[in-house]
A and B are shown apart, each in its own frame.
Chain A
Amino acid sequence: MARHVIAPVDELPPGTRKFLEIDGRPIAVFNIKGEYFGLMNRCPHQGAALCEGPLIGLAQSSEPGEIEYTKLGEIIRCPWHGWEFDIRTGQSYCDPRRFRVKAYPAHVEPGASVVKGPYVAETIPVKVESDYVVVEL
């Protein structure tokens, strides 16, 4: 598993996402209230660029008339047919046993450790005094 430096933290503020390609794989990294999540940007259904969809919550119902809306901003809804996935795990909600999207751990590392490695950061000039968003794949 290689760790890729994808941006200085201030380039990926809360509420934003970044799309990139790593080793030919389309990846999206989200900052949600300071937490970072990486996902494969390809829908396992028919291949849409999944992460261009809206982030919504999870509507669940224990019985008719009772609706619980949770996980606000943690569910990505495909821009084509609307399949829903948990961005923390990649689990799908329409058919969790058969479909999932690959999730990649993402987090922040201080420049000092990034400089030491084993990070891949060829296109980003790394400074020891900054922090960087890192995704593992």
Chain B
Amino acid sequence: MNIQFREQTDSVAPLTVKTAIADCDIHPARATRTELYPYLAKRWQHHLEVYGVHAYQGMMEGPPYPKAQPNASRRDAYPPEGGPQGSSLSFMQKQLLDPNNVQLGVLNPLNTGQGIRNHELSAALCSAINDWQIDKWTSKDKRLKASIVVGNEDGLSAAAEIRERAGDRNFVQVLLLSRNVEPLGQRRYWPIYQAAEEAGLPVGVHAFGFGGNPITPSGWPSYYIEEMVGHSQCQQSALASLVLEGVFERFPKLKMVMIEAGFGWAPSLAWRLDKVWQRLRSEVPHVKRPPSEYIREQVWWTTQPMEDPERREDLFDVIKWIGWDRLLFATDYPHWDYDEPSRVLPAGVSEANREAFYLGNAKKLYGIA
């Protein structure tokens, strides 16, 4: 009998040949506060040092609690060379990409320049984040693809950023957050949808944001657990707004991806929308078809946090309504509510559906050969 000793467990799984997957929600972080400076004009570096940023929401870094784990991240995700979780490409490769055989990883940076009151600063920071994503991540690992971060509250500058990046295959989607100054269907955001549609890029709506509105529709809650649940409520109102303001009708080729807010609520929201639309359609005559039709044709969903009902049949019923071709697997690495690819999908899924769930849908949506 042999006993092997190690200083610390190697929490990185051994490299085995696993089925290839896409991970549609990875959060790269900056190692230092000033890591973006090389991509920012001197004028904005100076501005940041002297004035900082003013968000619509008082607490720019998010409400001041650690969010379940430090930096809301897995405790085993600190890079060995130091810096916050998610800030090291080599460690991300070792801990996430290689052992899980990630063939496509979509980067969604958070705490960027979105939701900042100074729109010029917001645009400059978003553009810097996009340059940084290419320099530090996508050019160094071809599996990784970036999301175009845009200054969402100024539709025009956001559209300009999208047009500038259009055609650059380092980018595969446009990134918005779910909590904005107004619900996402409002006209101020339309230039974003127009530019994305023209560029053939899906628009991802990630949970979170700094629009100044409370985390839940009934105000600021006492507990973090309420925020976790609030993400899905927030995305429901964003999606209702997109349908009812006629965004899908106006931009029929637009594809939206709902990121990190679950998907179990999708059928009931659509049923409810359809029902009230039958009765109140004259208020919104620009919504020409039942809301559920737009949702099923133009919306995709990332899986993390994956719904986990006691009866797996319940999960399959929901997915059947949404469509096995609409789900995009995501881990949310390095965040603490990370989903382990080999453990999220219950048994009883056909080979074709598994393949679509883990890889095929994402490759198709993001146009990856």
Question: Which residues on A sit within 8 Å (CB–CB) of B74?
Answer: 48, 79-80
Of B40-48, B122-130, B205-213, B336-344, the one touching chain A: B336-344
CA distance A23 to B4 in the complex (A): 9
Interface digits, A52-67 against B, CB 8 Å rule (1 contact, 0 not)? Answer: 1110000000000000
Query: Contact: A19 with B8, CB < 8 Å?
Result: yes
The residue that B340 contacts in the complex, of A22, A47, A121, A124, with Cβ under 8 A, is A47
CB distance from A86 to the nearest CB of B (A): 19
CB distance from A46 to the nearest CB of B (A): 4
Interface positions, chain B 286-343, Cβ under 8 Å from A, are: 336-340, 342-343
Query: Contact: A26 with B9, CB < 8 Å?
Result: yes
The residue that A122 contacts in the complex, of B3, B8, B69, B75, with Cβ under 8 A, is B3
A19, A79, A80 — most chain B CB neighbours (10 Å): A80
Query: Contact: A41 with B9, CB < 8 Å?
Result: yes
Q: Verify if B2 is at the interface (C-beta below 8 Å from A).
A: yes
The residue that A53 contacts in the complex, of B75, B337, B338, B339, with Cβ under 8 A, is B75
Q: Verify if A126 is at the interface (C-beta below 8 Å from B).
A: no
Which residue of A has the minimal Cβ distance to B335?
Answer: A80
Given A26-B9, A46-B340, A52:B3 Cβ within 8 A: no
Question: Which residues on A sit within 8 Å (CB–CB) of B336?
Answer: 80-82
CA distance A45 to B68 in the complex (A): 17
Question: Which residues on B sit within 8 Å (CB–CB) of A82?
Answer: 68-69, 336
Query: Contact: B1 with A49, CB < 8 Å?
Result: no
B2, B11, B74 — most chain A CB neighbours (10 Å): B11
Question: Which residues on B sit within 8 Å (CB–CB) of A26?
Answer: 9
Main secondary structure of the interface of B (DSSP, over half): loop
Interface digits, A77-88 against B, CB 8 Å rule (1 contact, 0 not)? Answer: 001111000000
Question: Which residues on A sit within 8 Å (CB–CB) of B75?
Answer: 52-54, 79-80
Main secondary structure of the interface of A (DSSP, over half): loop
Query: Contact: B9 with A19, CB < 8 Å?
Result: yes
Question: Which residues on B sit within 8 Å (CB–CB) of A47?
Answer: 340, 342-343
Given A80-B74, A81-B336, A82-B68, A49:B3 Cβ within 8 A: no
**Residues of chain A at interface, number, CB under 8 A:** 29
The residue that A52 contacts in the complex, of B2, B11, B338, with Cβ under 8 A, is B11
Q: Verify if B198 is at the interface (C-beta below 8 Å from A).
A: no
Q: Verify if B279 is at the interface (C-beta below 8 Å from A).
A: no
CB distance from B275 to the nearest CB of A (A): 36
The residue that A20 contacts in the complex, of B1, B4, B76, B340, with Cβ under 8 A, is B4
Q: Verify if B51 is at the interface (C-beta below 8 Å from A).
A: no
CA distance A133 to B166 in the complex (A): 62
Q: Verify if A120 is at the interface (C-beta below 8 Å from B).
A: yes
CA distance A6 to B6 in the complex (A): 11
CB distance from A127 to the nearest CB of B (A): 17
The residue that B6 contacts in the complex, of A19, A53, A80, A121, with Cβ under 8 A, is A19
CA distance A41 to B10 in the complex (A): 11
The residue that B3 contacts in the complex, of A4, A53, A79, A80, with Cβ under 8 A, is A4
Interface positions, chain B 2-61, Cβ under 8 Å from A, are: 2-9, 11
B5, B9, B68, B339 — most chain A CB neighbours (10 Å): B9
Query: Contact: B1 with A122, CB < 8 Å?
Result: yes
CA distance A82 to B74 in the complex (A): 9
CB distance from B51 to the nearest CB of A (A): 38
Question: Which residues on B sit within 8 Å (CB–CB) of A122?
Answer: 1-3
Footprint of B on A, CB under 8 Å?
A: 2, 4, 6, 19-23, 26, 28, 41, 45-49, 51-54, 79-82, 120-124
Q: List 18 A-B contacts (CB under 8 A).
A: A2-B1, A6-B3, A20-B3, A20-B4, A45-B343, A46-B339, A46-B340, A47-B340, A47-B342, A49-B9, A51-B9, A52-B76, A54-B75, A80-B337, A81-B338, A82-B336, A122-B1, A122-B3
